[in-house]
Structure 1
Amino acid sequence: MAITPLAALHRKLFDETDGVRFSTLKDRLIKKFGETDRLAVLDILTAYARDGQLLHWRSSLVNEIVKLMVPQELPAFFNWAVTTPDLAYWGIDGLLKSQGKDAYDTVVALALSSSLRPEVRAKAVKSLAVLSRQPFDAGLSPDPGHWKAESLPLEEVLAWQRAGYPDGGGFAPPATHPSLAKPQSPLDRAAAKLEKKLAFARKQDQDLARPANWLVIAGGADLAAIDERWTLPSQYRDFLERFSPLRVYIESEDYFQGLNLYGAAELLKAQHGYSCNPIDQQAITGWPAHYVVIADAGADPYCLDLSAVTDGDAPIYTAEHGRGAWQFERHADSFVAFLEEIAAA
């Protein structure tokens, strides 16, 4: 009897010992048969997750299984996976997807277990927060692998358990200025273009527990601290007040290392290492005192030149870091022009 293409891929997957080739085979299996023979592919992936010879890939396959399955599938597999240390991280998501709120007791127990790795316990808390819409992850990294053990909100989780696992209200989007929807001035229009770009990025990846890629209304205390430090050009000051970047990171070919555009909450700290020493707050020799760093691309600063303000705006200069003395070059004739460039990148 001839071996079917699916059976041939199955055999190759289990025989392969090279991780790179295994990845190629796995991707081919899912892409070619994930829709037409989904259950058969799930059988292959779960079998490998249980007994495959490449341990690293056994763990990663659990995540692939979670994405391929539909709710209420594979409860026995995921009840087993969360008891297996190397599979528990992604197994938590699968257990919640397969059993929903019925899995809460098990996942809370994982969060409380001091015998598990911190990232697994953090993943349990994060996944519970996402499903229940409770704010256990407020202010924490979207990646629970970066959480510290002492930051785990275990008392809040236990209180939620005692209350009978009520659903929460989730997180409201950050407050934005109405001018983004109805731009009038050149500054408004440039900000609105950037907002459209950021909205696309948010659609791909957004966690409102720690929102990123937003233009938001700045806090009064942040603006007061900025005004105490500098007299900024009115166009940039207005931008910060109404459209302050919140963890804005632009990825494009124009900025091959990515561009961080600073908001009001981080502008003062962003000067550290450029104009001032973060330890003693003393000015760093060689830095032009009239340059304010408003963005960086891989630590290469983009600076507003406060000595050349015209009609409420100022030119942008940039330089490459790590070359000894700074060698600045004019990058844009104004902040609004720089903003338009970023929006089009």
Structure 2
Amino acid sequence: MAITPLAALHRKLFDETDGSKFATLKDRLIRKHGETDRLAVLDILSAYARDGQLLHWRSSLVNSMVQLMQPQELQEFFSWAVTMPELAYWGIDGLLKSRGKDAYDTVVALAMSDSQPQQVRAKAVKSLAVVSRQPFDAGLSQDPGHWKPESLRLADVLAWQRAGYPDGAGFAPPATHASLDDPRTPLEKAAAKLEKKLAAERKKDQDLARPSNWLVIASEADLAAIDERWTLPEQYRRFLARYSPLRVYIDSKRYFQGLNLYGAAELIKKQHGYAYNPVDQEIIAGWPVHYVVIADAGADPYCLDLSAIADGDAPIYTAEHGAGAWRFERHADSFVDFLKEIAKAG
């Protein structure tokens, strides 16, 4: 009897000992058979997660299973997986997807257990927050592997348990300016184009507990602190007030290692290491006092030249860091031109 392509992939997967080749086989299995033979693929992945010889990939396959499964499937497997130290991290998501609220007691117990690794406890809290829409993860990194032990809001989790596990309200999107939907001026049109670009990125990956890639209305306190420090060009000041970047990162070959565009909440702090040394609390010699860093690409600064403000705008200069001395070059004739460039960057 001829061996089917699925059976052949099954055999190759279990026989492979090279990690990179295993990854190729796994991707092929899911890509070619994930839709047409979904349950059979899940059987193969679960069998490898239980007994496969590449331990690292056993854990990764659990995550692949979570993406491929439907709610209420594989309850027995995931009830077992969360008891296995090497599988528990991703197994938590599978258990919640397969058992829903019936899994809450088990996942809360994992969060509370001192015997569990920190990252597993953090993952339990994060996953409970996502599923229940409770704010246990407010302001924390999207990746619970980066959480510190003091970040675990265990008292809040226990209070929620005592209340009978009520659903929360989730997180509202950040407040944005109405002109993004009806842009008229060159600044507004450039900001609206950038917002469209960022919205596409948010569809790929967004966690409203710690939102990223938004243009938001700045706080009055942040603007007051900025106004106390500098007299900014009108166009850039209006941009910060109406479209303050919130963790905006532009992934583009145009900028070395991508571009971080600063918002009002971080603008003053982002001068550290360029104009100001926060450790010695001293102005850094050699930095042009009229330059304000508004973005960086791999630590290469992009600066507004406050000494050349004209018609409410100012040119942008940039330089490579680590060269021993700053050698600035004119990058854009105005902030609005720079914003247009960022919005078009691909």
Q: Equivalents in 2 of 1:76, 1:234: separation in Å? A: 62
1:225 paired to 2:225: yes
Match of 1:252 in 2: 252
Q: Equivalents in 1 of 2:13, 2:289: separation in Å? A: 61
Cα offset, 1:208, TM superposition: 0.2
Match of 1:325 in 2: 325
Match of 1:202 in 2: 202
Q: Which runs of 5+ in 2 are unaligned?
A: none
Cα offset, 1:218, TM superposition: 0.5
Q: Equivalents in 1 of 2:29, 2:71: separation in Å? A: 21
Match of 1:240 in 2: 240
Cα offset, 1:111, TM superposition: 0.5
Q: Equivalents in 2 of 1:177, 1:281: separation in Å? A: 36
Give the secondary structure class of the aligned counterpart of 2:12: helix
Give the secondary structure class of the aligned counterpart of 2:236: helix
1:30 paired to 2:30: yes
- Residue 253 of structure 2 aligns with an amino acid whose one-letter code is E
Give the secondary structure class of the aligned counterpart of 1:138: coil
Match of 2:337 in 1: 337
Give the secondary structure class of the aligned counterpart of 1:257: coil
Give the secondary structure class of the aligned counterpart of 2:277: coil
1:78 paired to 2:92: no
Give the secondary structure class of the aligned counterpart of 1:255: coil
Q: Equivalents in 1 of 2:171, 2:79: separation in Å? A: 30
* 1:156-235 → structure 2 map (5 Å cutoff): 156-235=156-235
Structure 1: 4+ residue segments shifted above 3 A: none
Cα offset, 1:256, TM superposition: 4.0
Match of 1:53 in 2: 53
Give the secondary structure class of the aligned counterpart of 1:325: coil
Q: Equivalents in 2 of 1:285, 1:276: separation in Å? A: 9
TM-score by length of 2: 0.99
Q: Equivalents in 2 of 1:278, 1:194: separation in Å? A: 32
Match of 1:150 in 2: 150
Match of 1:266 in 2: 266
Cα offset, 1:253, TM superposition: 1.8
Between 31-40 and 149-158, the greater mean CA deviation after superposition: 31-40
Give the secondary structure class of the aligned counterpart of 2:282: coil
Between 184-193 and 300-309, the greater mean CA deviation after superposition: 184-193
Deviation sequence 1:28-58 (CA, Å, 0-9, x none) = 1111111111111111100000000000000
Cα offset, 1:118, TM superposition: 0.6
Cα offset, 1:78, TM superposition: 0.1
Q: Equivalents in 2 of 1:42, 1:193: separation in Å? A: 42
- Residue 90 of structure 2 aligns with an amino acid whose one-letter code is W
Q: Equivalents in 2 of 1:230, 1:281: separation in Å? A: 19
Match of 1:3 in 2: 3
Between 160-169 and 251-260, the greater mean CA deviation after superposition: 251-260
Task: Note the aligned Cα RMSD (angstroms).
Answer: 0.6
Q: Equivalents in 2 of 1:44, 1:173: separation in Å? A: 40
Deviation sequence 1:174-215 (CA, Å, 0-9, x none) = 001111111121111111111000100101100000000001
Match of 2:123 in 1: 123
Q: Equivalents in 2 of 1:188, 1:5: separation in Å? A: 55
Give the secondary structure class of the aligned counterpart of 2:164: coil
Match of 2:291 in 1: 291
Q: Equivalents in 1 of 2:24, 2:214: separation in Å? A: 36
Match of 2:21 in 1: 21
Deviation sequence 1:54-79 (CA, Å, 0-9, x none) = 00000000000111111100000000
TM-score by length of 1: 0.99
Cα offset, 1:126, TM superposition: 0.5
- Residue 97 of structure 1 aligns with an amino acid whose one-letter code is K
Deviation sequence 1:229-277 (CA, Å, 0-9, x none) = 1111111111111110000000012124110000000000000000110
1:99 paired to 2:99: yes
Give the secondary structure class of the aligned counterpart of 2:276: coil
- Residue 189 of structure 2 aligns with an amino acid whose one-letter code is R
Deviation sequence 1:70-99 (CA, Å, 0-9, x none) = 110000000000000000000000000000
Give the secondary structure class of the aligned counterpart of 1:252: coil
Q: Equivalents in 2 of 1:278, 1:91: separation in Å? A: 43
- Residue 192 of structure 1 aligns with an amino acid whose one-letter code is A
Cα offset, 1:280, TM superposition: 2.6
Q: Equivalents in 2 of 1:256, 1:20: separation in Å? A: 28
Identical residues among aligned pairs (%):
81
